Structure 1
Amino acid sequence: MNRTRGLIINGREIPASGGRTAPDVGPWTGETCAVVAAGTVEDITRAVDAAEAAFEGWAATPPTRRRAIFLRAAEIMASRTQEIVELMAAEVGAVTPWAAFNAKLATDILLEAAAATTQPTGQMLATDHQGAYSMQVRVPVGVVAAISPWNAPVILGVRAVALPLALGNTVVMKPSEDAPIACGLLISDVLHEAGLPAGVLNVVTNDRADAAAVVSALIGDPRVRMVNFTGSTETGRAVGVLAAQHLKPAVLELGGKNALVVLEDADLDYAVDAATFGAFMNAGQICMCVDRVIVHRAVAEEFLAKFAQRVDALPSGDPADPATAVGPVVTAQAAQRVAALIADAVAKGATLLAGTGTVEAPGTLIKPAVLTGVTRDMDIFSREIFGPATVVHVVDDADQAVQLANDTPYGLTAGVITEDLAAGLDIARRIRTGIIHVNDQSIADEPQAPFGGVKNSGYGRFGGQAGVEAFTDTRWITVQAKGHAHYPI
């Protein structure tokens, strides 16, 4: 797979203003799977020009017409599942089940966006003014900046644009340098094939060295009215600060240090299945992954033995092999970072129950690792792993489990495994996260649900009514329908 792609501005694919390009390098083969245009600040201005010019017409487009575009886009997305599987394996090292799930959930997000086009957008308000009507309505904000990540590229790329577009906004999208096609250009292709008008969605890819300048220009353009970003907490903090400096609202979905609590009455085979999936799907590179398993001491020994055996048996390697469960991480630098977290913990006294913690050929592969005996002085205790490793902590009761789960600056998601639903719901009430699942692990996403975190995991919500509110403004409208208003002077 090797292709050359340009920017998408005003419905046309064009080269970057300076003529530069950037390689899109796959993590497993180390080969260039695509060459993309390296957009500049000038290209951001051109993209915002197009989005601003298209806004009034798109916002006025009848909702049933918008709905038809998104329904057609969902059909197209589903039909391209095999292409997405191959693309994600090449571009980000994704294994087949994860890539296929990206296609499925992206399709569902497009269907949910279609439904959002005809949802109620306002309400009548009480008023003391005779002969007047008072209304609260939701209106599109205008041009939205969407910055999408590489790890679930099709899901999160579609999520970054679908609901904003369905609600009548226009979008300028900056996809990740590690997945410019899967989380940007592919999505543009699908939506434009479905009939999206020119200028409504514009995509500016870039060289990694230009990322800060491109993002600053995008957020700083006065015609851009809000920002949505999914990615690391470090980068999200910078995006949030920049948006705030320009008095622009932002939806930020950031990192997590997610816990899976296993209570003493849990079905341990099910808990092992949940922990394995939650920790190692997509090589642990999901913001919702289980970084910490918090298990009751009464069942810890049995759980650890079963968990280590299960993790050691996970097939790892070539993401294009359908039998592979855990593929490579996205870059050699990412692999070295995860290996350093494991090495630091082991050097300070942690025990490695599964995996080796070392980087293997081709320089991006780490076999799944499980650690115990992790203490506060170890980097892995507090830092998001975002790779194929997890930590098991042993506690004496549910109160200790909740306290440990909350002992983090993050607050994205969590899970609790128990046969006692009342106990599970009590823990769900007490753990401070934006999302929690009783009798499931921490990874889950549905397009109609309000998705997002608290604390250092970000703010604002994608999906559901909360998402509609995030990507629209509230407007108060009054109509003096009968008689004239009275003025005292």
Structure 2
Amino acid sequence: MTLQRELLIDGKDSPAASGRTAEDVDPYTGEVYATVAAAGPEDVTRAVDAAQAAFDAWAALDPFARRKILLDAADLLESRGEQAVELMAREAGGARPWALFNVRLGANILREAGAAVTAPRGEVLSSQETGKLGLAVREPVGVVAAFSPWNAPVILGVRSVAAALAAGNTVVMKPSEDAPLACGLFVADVLRDAGLPDGVLNVVTNDPADAAEIAETLVADPRVRAVNFTGSTHVGRIIGTHAARHLKPAVLELGGKNAVVVLDDADVDYAVDAVTFGVFMNAGQICMSGDRVLVHESLAGEFSARLAEKVSGLPAGDPGEPSTVIGPLVSRDAARRVAALVADAVAKGATVLTGGGEPEGAVHPATVLTGVPRDAELYHGEAFGPVCVIDTFGTDDEAVALANDTENGLTAGVITENGTHGLRVARRIRTGIVHVNDQSVADEPQAPFGGFKASGYGRFGGRWGIEAFSNTRWVTLATEQAQYPF
């Protein structure tokens, strides 16, 4: 039976003003899994109306009451793990372990946000004036526009709203058209059931054809005072441009072209396991996926053979099967895009160690390549699929140069048994995140999360997330009368 969902505006399920709907397709079966309301600009305005109307009361709510809602939502989310497994498999092809990881981390993001509600929210400043007290006070900005992606839908759906809500803002969320339930309405249902007041979080779903208009309408609304977006660099540039045009701060977490560097002092068995996880978790559809593997030339032969052998045995296919590692990509078009990247690289001289070929529906074979030349699109382009490229280096300088040979700068991993060696290399890689003796995929809710260069700017996580969605004000209190010159 096909699910049907409406917009969530002012705490109520509401059809689009036009009555239009959009289809939500299961990438593995190709069948329509759900239909959602297809909002128009007038619906965006209604959602912002509701968020604006709810703002004063939410910002003024006892912080302990606000914290309780977020903590209760975390517990509720954990209790709905099986629902998340179903949604993520049917909307985005997510395998069961990935879905349950989304639930656990999403719950912890809510808990971290809840803890931040009652954390210190300002500073006492020195003043050059006698008898004057200076304060730097963080206050909510108002309505926040949140754009959540499909690939880690529960994690990133929660992340798009948690810090903003904790800081006392209200939110209008526009979830991805590829997973509007998992990264939007499911998250909102959890918060609503935890006691979030009407209008504090509103969700506007849309037809893919209307995405640009919906996004521009939302960002342009003068009552929206801050924006966050997680997704591709291409779309992030558009969102960032809209925000800049209207002088609104934006947190953008965008694409990656992430490297895992295997140094000459690495444990090869550990490196193979780490790289396999960092490349092929969620079929490579993670912004942090390490689709470039840079291996010291002394280890390259052994490492490449072992990696190809391990990858060739990864179970692929139905995301509903508990053993599946390589599930379908988000759509059949996405699988064909990855296949085209591989074919282009091979045509220009790359060698396939395992995988390659044509996808079966939305399932693309787990693929390892070597010898990808600079003129291949895959050399610089984000794979965002179950594909990695092995390259070799002879010195640390060469490794760093290769790792930095990209316009992106999200994350990196450095595999080594020598921590000081690894840290020296890690400090030279130009990314927002780097993990020494680990691969590139990691996320913890208390840590500053975000990219550098074309991978975005601003930070989610911990106090950095609260600050991103707060207005810092300078407030002074004079304890004695001032003397003026006239």
- TM-score (ref. length: structure 1): 0.98
Q: How large is the Cα RMSD of the aligned pairs?
A: 0.8
The aligned counterpart of 1:151 is 151
In structure 1, how many angstroms separate the alpha carbons of the residues matched to 2:420 and 2:131? Answer: 53
How many angstroms does 1:50 deviate by?
0.6
The aligned counterpart of 1:2 is 2
The structure 2 residue matched to 1:419, chosen from 417, 420, 427, is 417
How many angstroms does 1:310 deviate by?
0.2
1:354 aligns with 2:338: no
Alignment of 1:91-110 (within 5 A): 91-110=91-110
How many angstroms does 1:123 deviate by?
1.1
In structure 2, how many angstroms separate the alpha carbons of the residues matched to 1:97 and 1:483? Answer: 63
In structure 2, how many angstroms separate the alpha carbons of the residues matched to 1:79 and 1:469? Answer: 30
How many angstroms does 1:397 deviate by?
1.7
The structure 1 residue matched to 2:482, chosen from 462, 465, 485, is 485
Alignment of 1:222-241 (within 5 A): 222-241=222-241
SS, match of residue 49 in structure 1 = helix
Alignment of 1:34-53 (within 5 A): 34-53=34-53
SS, match of residue 291 in structure 2 = strand
**Conserved 8 A contact 1:91-1:179:** yes
SS, match of residue 430 in structure 1 = coil
The aligned counterpart of 2:126 is 126
**Conserved 8 A contact 2:93-2:319:** yes
Alignment of 1:61-72 (within 5 A): 61-72=61-72
How many angstroms does 1:33 deviate by?
1.1
1:384 aligns with 2:382: yes
Alignment of 1:223-372 (within 5 A): 223-360=223-360, 363-372=361-370
How many angstroms does 1:308 deviate by?
0.3
How many angstroms does 1:186 deviate by?
0.5
**Match for 1:328: what amino acid?**
P
In structure 2, how many angstroms separate the alpha carbons of the residues matched to 1:183 and 1:270? Answer: 33
How many angstroms does 1:128 deviate by?
2.8
1:468 aligns with 2:484: no
In structure 2, how many angstroms separate the alpha carbons of the residues matched to 1:134 and 1:266? Answer: 52
**Conserved 8 A contact 2:338-2:383:** yes
Unpaired stretches in structure 1, ≥5 consecutive residues: none
**Match for 1:488: what amino acid?**
P
The aligned counterpart of 1:32 is 32
The aligned counterpart of 2:454 is 456
Structure 1 runs of 4+ aligned residues shifted over 6 Å read: none
**Conserved 8 A contact 1:141-1:226:** yes
Spell out, residue by residue over 1:34-86, the C-alpha distance to the aligned partner (whole angstroms, 9 max, x if none). 11000110001000011111111111111100010011001100000011111
Alignment of 1:168-187 (within 5 A): 168-187=168-187
SS, match of residue 120 in structure 2 = coil
**Conserved 8 A contact 2:116-2:463:** no
**Conserved 8 A contact 2:145-2:224:** yes
How many angstroms does 1:487 deviate by?
2.5
**Conserved 8 A contact 2:113-2:462:** no
How many angstroms does 1:483 deviate by?
3.2
Alignment of 1:133-148 (within 5 A): 133-148=133-148
SS, match of residue 259 in structure 2 = strand
How many angstroms does 1:87 deviate by?
1.1
In structure 1, how many angstroms separate the alpha carbons of the residues matched to 2:370 and 2:357? Answer: 13
In structure 2, how many angstroms separate the alpha carbons of the residues matched to 1:352 and 1:131? Answer: 73
In structure 1, how many angstroms separate the alpha carbons of the residues matched to 2:138 and 2:3? Answer: 41
SS, match of residue 277 in structure 1 = helix
**Conserved 8 A contact 2:10-2:50:** yes
How many angstroms does 1:124 deviate by?
1.1
In structure 2, how many angstroms separate the alpha carbons of the residues matched to 1:472 and 1:320? Answer: 41
Spell out, residue by residue over 1:422-459, the C-alpha distance to the aligned partner (whole angstroms, 9 max, x if none). 11000110000000000100000000000000000000
- TM-score (ref. length: structure 2): 0.99
Spell out, residue by residue over 1:194-222, the C-alpha distance to the aligned partner (whole angstroms, 9 max, x if none). 00001100000000011111000000000
The aligned counterpart of 1:210 is 210
**Conserved 8 A contact 2:125-2:134:** yes
How many angstroms does 1:243 deviate by?
0.5
SS, match of residue 416 in structure 1 = strand
In structure 1, how many angstroms separate the alpha carbons of the residues matched to 2:230 and 2:406? Answer: 20
**Match for 2:214: what amino acid?**
V
Spell out, residue by residue over 1:246-275, the C-alpha distance to the aligned partner (whole angstroms, 9 max, x if none). 001100000000000001111111100011
In structure 2, how many angstroms separate the alpha carbons of the residues matched to 1:128 and 1:386? Answer: 54
Spell out, residue by residue over 1:69-109, the C-alpha distance to the aligned partner (whole angstroms, 9 max, x if none). 01100110000001111111111110111011001100000
**Match for 1:202: what amino acid?**
N
**Conserved 8 A contact 2:38-2:206:** yes
In structure 1, how many angstroms separate the alpha carbons of the residues matched to 2:342 and 2:44? Answer: 40
**Match for 1:407: what amino acid?**
D
Unpaired stretches in structure 2, ≥5 consecutive residues: none
Of all paired residues, the percent bearing the same amino acid is: 63
In structure 2, how many angstroms separate the alpha carbons of the residues matched to 1:131 and 1:295? Answer: 62
In structure 2, how many angstroms separate the alpha carbons of the residues matched to 1:181 and 1:486? Answer: 62
